[in-house]
């Protein structure tokens, strides 16, 4: 008796509503389409008669517009039968052959092995899922770039090891989020999704027999890839699992970038910080005053799981022994599907989070001033240590009183513009420029408003004099 569905998303809310592309139905559709693509490849190469391709497409339901080949298959029976052979392709081939007229039945799965079909189907599923993930990232990053531009000059406290460090801007932080997501998106863009066709041992021996020559057999994988809408493989990769591990690594990198964004949102939305808040959702059943960062929490849940899934893919690849792995290949299937599923859900939620995120610039400025001017201690050290020595400077920073009063009481500080010296907005470095998309190089695009001319030169000298080797953590 078939098991009840194990996972409808009850414990994986991040993916609910966003994982149809990697469902069992989608995988089964891809398996059927891979079988159809093999027949199409034979037809393209003139090995199988065209009427066989037409009849098989019709029998498989591949010629129906908008239809799903899996809808007419007994999935419960297929699942149960998959146990005996260790994979679903073996019983699927039997089911599909029963639908095909006897005259053309011999072309179904001809020369192929189950790994050819399953690997190809997983690449089809992965390609479609990655396209959707890429689309979500493509929406999230520009929204964060817009946020960075709006808040390029809004001062905030940069935190290192959880503590106030130096001033930055809200926009620079948002640009950092965008940069990570953009980099991850570019890595997804560089992926290839090769079809797999090698026969029982990866030698294509069966295809040499079927096509009648080595050259004809060598041309068949390209035709198969075209029929499956995948990349042409350079060679069989049945035990060289780089298509899977590179895909996994790119997905993990994407979830890393989304996790960083979500972790910062969760931290900055703490009640006592309050620098950002999610624009939608987040209610609590027991505490009506709360607005929980629900989307950030969901994204983080995916990011926390992703590295271990990626590691499993690498472990499986490293143990892909012989010419058909004894369990390592099988371990990949649910692992890769889980990783795709998490990426689909997390990227969608990141796009939503980026679109609705609210920034409280006043709270950021208030927090930046919470230490009485000590946020610019790095700058003060360079200015004051040469005047009063390191010991008196350390004593000056002790306590939590307003530094402005203490500075004005120093005879050695007479003539210093104390207000300008303590202004965090004048010690944000390249943060506004970085927020606007400029880099740190001399020819980088973007500029920091008010940071040119004599005033900028004065600030740069003030910040650097006597401060060549600052000690942070």
Catalytic residues: 284, 324
**CA 28, CA 62: separation in Å to the nearest integer?**
13
Q: Find the helix or strand (DSSP H, E) in which 169 lies.
A: strand 163-169
Cβ pair 273, 363 in contact under 8 A: yes
Enclosing H/E stretch for 158: strand 155-160
Q: Give the Cα separation of 291 and 270 in Å (integer).
A: 10
Residue whose tokens read 């699992």? 241
Beta strand pairing call for 163-169 and 276-277: unpaired
Q: Which helix (H) or strand (E) holds 164?
A: strand 163-169
Distances (CA, A) of 191 to 20, 244, 247, 345: 22, 10, 7, 20
C-alpha distances (whole Å) from 86 to each of 113, 118, 328 are: 13, 12, 12
Contact 286, 297 (CB under 8 A): no
Answer whether 254's CB lies under 8 Å from 185's CB.
Answer: yes
Query: Do 450 and 424 contact (CB within 8 A), yes or no?
Result: no
DSSP 3-state of 14: helix
Contacts of 406 (CB under 8 A, 6+ apart): 396
User: Which two three-digit tokens encode residue 290?
Assistant: 């709360």
CA 134/CA 347 separation, integer angstroms: 8
Q: Considering only CA atoms, which of 297, 305, 300 is closest in space to residue 257?
A: 300
Residue 371 is given by DSSP the state: T
Q: Which two tokens stand for residue 412?
A: 């050695």
Q: How many CA atoms, within 13 angstroms, populate the side-chain half-sphere of residue 141?
A: 19
DSSP state of 231: B
Rounded Cα distance, 282 and 297, in Å: 10
Count of CB atoms within 10 A of residue 77's CB?
A: 12
């Amino acid at each position: 008796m078939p098991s009840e569905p194990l996972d409808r998303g009850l414990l994986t809310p991040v993916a609910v509503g966003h994982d149809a592309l990697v469902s069992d139905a989608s995988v089964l559709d891809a398996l059927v389409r891979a079988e159809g693509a093999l027949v199409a490849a034979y037809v393209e190469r003139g090995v199988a008669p065209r009427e066989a391709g037409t009849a098989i497409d019709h029998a498989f339901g591949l010629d129906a517009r908008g239809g799903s080949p899996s809808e007419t298959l007994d999935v419960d029976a297929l699942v149960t039968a998959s146990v005996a052979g260790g994979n679903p392709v073996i019983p699927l081939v039997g089911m599909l052959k029963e639908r095909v007229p006897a005259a053309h039945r011999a072309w179904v799965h001809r020369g192929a092995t189950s790994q050819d079909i399953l690997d190809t189907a997983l690449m089809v599923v992965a390609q479609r899922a990655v396209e959707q993930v890429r689309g979500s990232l493509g929406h999230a990053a520009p929204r964060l770039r817009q946020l960075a531009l709006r808040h390029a000059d809004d001062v905030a406290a940069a935190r290192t090891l959880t503590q106030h460090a130096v001033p930055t801007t809200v926009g620079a932080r948002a640009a950092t989020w965008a940069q990570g997501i953009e980099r991850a998106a570019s890595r997804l863009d560089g992926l290839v999704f090769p079809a797999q066709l090698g026969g029982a041992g990866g030698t294509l021996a069966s295809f040499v027999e079927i096509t009648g020559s080595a050259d004809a057999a060598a041309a068949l994988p390209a035709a198969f890839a075209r029929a499956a809408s995948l990349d042409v493989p350079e060679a069989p990769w049945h035990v060289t699992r780089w298509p899977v591990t590179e895909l996994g690594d790119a997905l993990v990198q994407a979830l890393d970038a989304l996790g960083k964004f979500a972790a910062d949102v969760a931290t900055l939305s703490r009640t006592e910080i309050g620098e950002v808040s999610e624009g939608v959702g987040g209610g609590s059943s027991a505490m009506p005053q709360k607005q929980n960062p629900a989307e950030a929490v969901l994204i983080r849940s995916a990011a926390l799981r992703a590295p271990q899934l990626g590691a499993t893919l690498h472990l499986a690849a490293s143990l892909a022994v012989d010419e058909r792995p004894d369990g390592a290949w099988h371990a990949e299937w649910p692992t890769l599907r889980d990783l795709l599923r998490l990426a689909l859900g997390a990227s969608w939620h990141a796009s939503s989070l980026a679109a609705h995120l609210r920034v409280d610039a006043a709270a950021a400025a208030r927090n930046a001033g919470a230490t009485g001017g000590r946020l610019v201690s790095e700058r003060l050290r360079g200015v004051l240590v040469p005047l009063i020595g390191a010991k008196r400077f350390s004593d000056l920073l002790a306590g939590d009183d307003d530094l402005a009063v203490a500075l004005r009481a120093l005879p050695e500080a007479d003539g210093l513009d104390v207000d300008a010296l303590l202004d965090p907005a004048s010690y944000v470095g390249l943060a506004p420029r970085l927020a606007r998309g400029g880099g740190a190089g001399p020819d980088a695009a973007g500029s920091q408003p008010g940071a040119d001319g004599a005033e900028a030169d004065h600030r740069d000298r003030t910040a650097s004099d006597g401060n060549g080797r600052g000690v942070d953590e």
